[in-house]
């Protein structure tokens, strides 16, 4: 059972460690930067052009947000402890949901960005755990859960753009958009890799999702909300045409994934065939090759659209994020595809040349796009 | 509001008054520090990076390092002789160290107008307080989960930060609180497959930590300007 008790247990641990690690590293970096810059912070003034890229607008704001975040953490631990002392009447993910709802209320009422980011990620974790519980109870394909996570991530991007109706809410909008982009990119990265394809095959084992009424209704509701949000945002001109089409396309790909029957993605490995250079991995079947191609094309398309959207919206952070993810994608693909069957020296020389060329073109393209943005905004100012 | 402050600053400068005197005058007139700083920002000598500020920062860093080194020296001396001391003496040493350092910090800050040295000693006092919690737990073999010590530490430092209006202590308490949050899952959920209904962590401590953290967030938020509060 893939999503068993141990999985839930480790998921909780990994999540807790990751969140805290990121926070601790972030605090250390902030403290170092604070000293390096002599107490000054770039774009700290709320009137400045990129004010929304700051996680806090003053030291009071930073400390206040940190303590609200701590309060949420302690609230979660208090609820977990009470639950355990009472003999665990609730599942751990139900308590996570309650904490995240409290986090969302705090985030919107007190304008706490840290709580918003934590709660959004927590809600996704809650959904995965809750849906896997429904799926394992009836031996249902977990591919549908994967699809809903991708839809939720895309929904986060759209909700982020909807927040841009209020200029004062731009920081929250950026959090939604950045998290949505990262989660979507992460899913596609994973599925386009060798390991991801093998996991994809195991996700397709079992009965179709419509054998569970809970999953069917959830899928329908999430997809409907996503569709409505895209149409509404496009109607309000908060979403460009290209962005709406990309989101629709990615959503449809995951809808197909949710309806896929059981598939064989890889042939069984012949361990006696020593001439094989597959590195212990069976070759792709026709269906496997098709889906590998789909996921890779979608990943590339998604990342390019992030950069394109950044250009359309005049958002430098989005262009930089897209460029960084594209760079990581090429890096991962190179290792994924060539490491096992190229001579190591050729592999590293090839990697060096590849990175240099990509880096050169990315810097050149990024510079041109940002120059366009600067010249366009200076024309507007004139 | 800003225009009014700027006019008063210009008027003060025209009479040849020192910037510090104008600052003090504006404070007594009831303006917020943040608004005064903003109005002063275009005037270079008081702005960030000015020679006085760099000097102040250097002094701050030096006295903080000094305080930490003194603390480490005392700790190592006490640790070397720890096993020869009886429980009462150990507790007296801990309590005296906390009391003396904090009183000295208060004296330097409030009575001698040496805020940097005072702040550095408050930081040292908060570190001794935290170490004291764990030492007392060790002396009396108190059966508790270790993150509880960090929660008590956070609560104490937060109270001290409010009492002494030491903003730096909020950062220390925040980091200590984060350690408590990281540690708790490991001790409370260390065995997922058996139901151990008895948790060593007292519920009131968890509730208190939640209330203190939320209250601190709320009270500090009240200090943010109305304009800034609207930004999300």
User: Are A163 and A208 contained in the same domain?
Assistant: yes
Mean pLDDT of A81-91: 84
User: Are A310 and A193 contained in the same domain?
Assistant: yes
CB contacts of B65 in chain A (<8 Å) are none
Q: For chain B, what's the residue count? A: 232
Say what the pLDDT of residue A60 is. 87
User: Are A115 and A179 contained in the same domain?
Assistant: no
Across A33-37, A83-87, A124-128, the highest mean pLDDT is recorded for A124-128
Say what the pLDDT of residue B193 is. 47
Mean pLDDT of A99-116: 92
Say what the pLDDT of residue A225 is. 94
Mean pLDDT of A3-30: 62
Q: What is the mean pLDDT of chain A?
A: 80
Say what the pLDDT of residue A271 is. 58
pLDDT above 90: residue A206: no
pLDDT above 50: residue B127: yes
Pick the last residue of a domain from A72, A102, A137: A137
Mean pLDDT of A135-143: 86
Say what the pLDDT of residue A75 is. 94
Q: How confident is the model at residue A1 (pLDDT cuts 50, 70, 90)?
A: very low
Residue of B nearest to A27 (CA): B175
List, for residues A57-81, the tens digit of each pLDDT value: 788 888 999 999 999 999 998 998 8
Chain B interface mutation, best of A39, A63, A92, A160, highest count of B Cβ atoms under 10 Å: A63
Cβ of A64 within 8 Å of Cβ of B221? The answer is yes
Residue of A nearest to B41 (CA): A45
- Nearest Cα to A8, choosing from A138, A137, A126, A169? A126
CB contacts of A11 in chain B (<8 Å) are none
Distance in angstroms (rounded) separating the CA atoms of residues A267 and A280 = 11
pLDDT above 60: residue A301: yes
Say what the pLDDT of residue A152 is. 94
Out of A266-275, B32-41, B179-188, which region has the weakest mean confidence (pLDDT)? Answer: A266-275
Q: To the nearest whole angstrom, how far is the Cα of B127 from the nearest Cα of chain A?
A: 18
Pick the last residue of a domain from A137, A162, A187: A137
Q: To the nearest whole angstrom, how far is the Cα of A316 from the nearest Cα of chain B?
A: 20
Pick the last residue of a domain from A137, A170, A198: A137
CB contacts of B232 in chain A (<8 Å) are 108, 111, 113, 168-169, 171-172
ipTM above 0.85, yes or no: no
Say what the pLDDT of residue B23 is. 79
User: Are A124 and A212 contained in the same domain?
Assistant: no
Cβ of A71 within 8 Å of Cβ of B214? The answer is yes
Q: To the nearest whole angstrom, how far is the Cα of B80 from the nearest Cα of chain A?
A: 32
Mean pLDDT of B148-170: 92
Residue A334 included in any domain: no
User: Are A158 and A224 contained in the same domain?
Assistant: yes
Q: How confident is the model at residue B131 (pLDDT cuts 50, 70, 90)?
A: confident
Mean pLDDT of A300-321: 83
Q: State the alpha helices, DSSP H only, in chain B.
A: 2-14, 19-28, 33-40, 51-81, 87-106, 115-139, 146-164, 167-188, 203-221, 226-229
Out of A200-204, A361-365, B154-158, which region has the weakest mean confidence (pLDDT)? Answer: A361-365
CB contacts of A46 in chain B (<8 Å) are 227-228, 231
Out of A119-128, A247-256, A288-297, which region has the weakest mean confidence (pLDDT)? Answer: A288-297
Number of domains in chain A: 2
Buried b (16+ CB within 10 A) or exposed e, A277-289: eeeeebebeeebe
pLDDT above 90: residue A224: yes
User: Are A180 and A76 contained in the same domain?
Assistant: no
The CA-atom distances, in angstroms, between B209 and each of A63, A67, B126, B147, B216 are: 16, 10, 17, 12, 10
Q: How confident is the model at residue A123 (pLDDT cuts 50, 70, 90)?
A: very high
Distance in angstroms (rounded) separating the CA atoms of residues A181 and A188 = 11
Cβ of B198 within 8 Å of Cβ of A172? The answer is no
Say what the pLDDT of residue B8 is. 82
Residue of A nearest to B51 (CA): A38
Task: Please tell me which of the candidates A67, A78, A87 has its beta carbon nearest to residue B217.
Answer: A67
Residue A144 included in any domain: yes
Q: How confident is the model at residue B194 (pLDDT cuts 50, 70, 90)?
A: very low
- Nearest Cα to A119, choosing from A167, A165, A75, A164? A75
Mean pLDDT of B179-191: 75
Distance in angstroms (rounded) separating the CA atoms of residues A378 and A345 = 49
Say what the pLDDT of residue A341 is. 60
CB contacts of A31 in chain B (<8 Å) are 171
Q: What is the mean pLDDT of chain B?
A: 80
User: Are A65 and A198 contained in the same domain?
Assistant: no
CB contacts of B166 in chain A (<8 Å) are none
The CA-atom distances, in angstroms, between A100 and each of A95, A104, A116, A119, A120 are: 9, 6, 9, 4, 7
Cβ of B220 within 8 Å of Cβ of A46? The answer is no
Say what the pLDDT of residue A30 is. 64
Percent of chain A with pLDDT over 90: 25
- Nearest Cα to B198, choosing from B146, B145, B156? B145
Say what the pLDDT of residue B46 is. 45
More confident: B46 or A47? A47
Say what the pLDDT of residue B134 is. 86
Domain boundaries in chain B?
Answer: 1-47, 57-229
- Give the bridge partners for A140, in sequence order: A207
pLDDT above 50: residue B197: no
More confident: B103 or A364? B103
Cβ of B218 within 8 Å of Cβ of A110? The answer is yes
- Nearest Cα to A99, choosing from A81, A128, A75, A78? A75
Torsion of CA A361, A367, A368, A374, to 10 degrees: 170
Across A105-109, A273-277, A372-376, B67-71, the highest mean pLDDT is recorded for A105-109
Residue A364 included in any domain: no
User: Computed from CA positions of residues B64, B65, B66, B72, in that sequence, does the dihedral angle turn out positive or negative?
Assistant: positive
User: Are A89 and A105 contained in the same domain?
Assistant: yes
By the 10 Å C-beta count (0-12 exposed, 13-18 middle, 19+ buried), B201 is classed as buried
Domain encompassing residue A182: 138-265+281-315
Distance in angstroms (rounded) separating the CA atoms of residues B100 and B106 = 10
């Amino acid at each position: 059972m893939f999503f068993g008790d141990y999985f839930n247990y480790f998921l909780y641990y990994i999540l807790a460690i990751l969140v805290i690690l990121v926070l601790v590293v972030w605090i250390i970096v902030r403290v170092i930067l604070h000293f390096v810059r002599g107490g000054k912070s770039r774009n700290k003034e709320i009137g400045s052009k990129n004010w929304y890229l700051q996680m806090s607008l003053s030291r009071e704001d930073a400390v206040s947000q940190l303590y609200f975040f701590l309060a949420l953490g302690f609230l979660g631990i208090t609820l977990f402890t009470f639950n355990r002392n009472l003999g665990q009447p609730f599942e751990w993910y139900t308590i996570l949901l309650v904490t995240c709802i409290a986090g969302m209320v705090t985030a919107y009422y007190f304008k706490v960005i840290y709580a918003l980011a934590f709660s959004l990620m927590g809600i996704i974790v809650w959904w995965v755990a809750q849906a896997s519980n429904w799926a394992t109870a009836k031996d249902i394909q977990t591919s549908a859960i994967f699809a809903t996570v991708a839809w939720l991530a895309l929904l986060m991007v759209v909700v982020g753009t909807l927040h841009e109706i209020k200029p004062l809410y731009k920081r929250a909008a950026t959090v939604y958009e950045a998290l949505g982009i990262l989660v979507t990119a992460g899913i596609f990265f994973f599925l386009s890799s060798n390991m991801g394809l093998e996991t994809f095959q195991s996700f397709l084992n079992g009965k179709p999702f419509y054998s569970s009424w809970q999953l069917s209704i959830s899928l329908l509701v999430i997809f409907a909300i996503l569709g409505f949000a895209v149409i509404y945002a496009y109607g309000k001109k908060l979403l460009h045409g290209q962005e709406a089409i990309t989101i629709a396309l990615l959503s449809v790909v995951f809808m197909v994934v949710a309806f896929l029957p059981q598939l064989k993605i890889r042939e069984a490995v012949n361990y006696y065939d020593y001439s094989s250079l597959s590195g212990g991995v069976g070759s792709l079947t026709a269906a496997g090759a098709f889906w590998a191609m789909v996921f890779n094309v979608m990943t590339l398309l998604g990342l390019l659209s992030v950069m394109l959207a950044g250009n359309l919206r005049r958002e430098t952070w989005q262009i930089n994020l897209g460029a960084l993810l594209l760079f990581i994608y090429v890096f991962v693909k190179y290792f994924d595809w060539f490491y096992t069957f190229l001579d190591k020296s050729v592999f590293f020389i090839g990697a060096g040349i590849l990175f240099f060329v990509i880096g050169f073109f990315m810097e050149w393209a990024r510079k041109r796009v940002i120059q366009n943005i600067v010249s366009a905004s200076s024309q507007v100012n004139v | 509001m800003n225009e009014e402050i700027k006019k008063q600053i210009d008027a003060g400068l025209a009479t040849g008054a020192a910037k510090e005197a104008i600052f003090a005058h504006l404070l007594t007139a009831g303006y917020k520090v943040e608004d005064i700083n903003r109005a002063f920002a275009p005037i270079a000598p008081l702005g960030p990076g000015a020679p006085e500020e760099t000097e102040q920062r250097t002094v701050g860093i030096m006295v903080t390092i000094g305080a930490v080194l003194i603390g480490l020296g005392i700790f190592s001396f006490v640790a070397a002789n720890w096993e020869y001391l009886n429980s009462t003496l150990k507790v007296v040493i801990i309590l005296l160290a906390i009391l003396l350092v904090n009183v000295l910090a208060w004296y330097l800050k409030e009575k001698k107008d040496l805020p940097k040295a005072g702040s550095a000693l408050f930081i040292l006092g908060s570190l001794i307080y935290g170490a004291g919690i764990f030492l007392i737990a060790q002396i009396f073999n108190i059966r508790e989960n270790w993150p509880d010590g960090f929660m008590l530490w956070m609560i104490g430092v937060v109270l001290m930060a409010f009492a002494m209006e030491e903003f730096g202590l909020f950062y220390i308490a925040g980091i200590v609180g984060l350690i408590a949050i990281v540690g708790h899952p490991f001790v409370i959920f260390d065995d997922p497959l058996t139901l151990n209904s008895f948790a060593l962590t007292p519920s009131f401590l968890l509730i208190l930590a939640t209330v203190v953290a939320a209250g601190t967030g709320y009270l500090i938020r009240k200090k943010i300007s109305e304009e800034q509060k609207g930004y999300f």
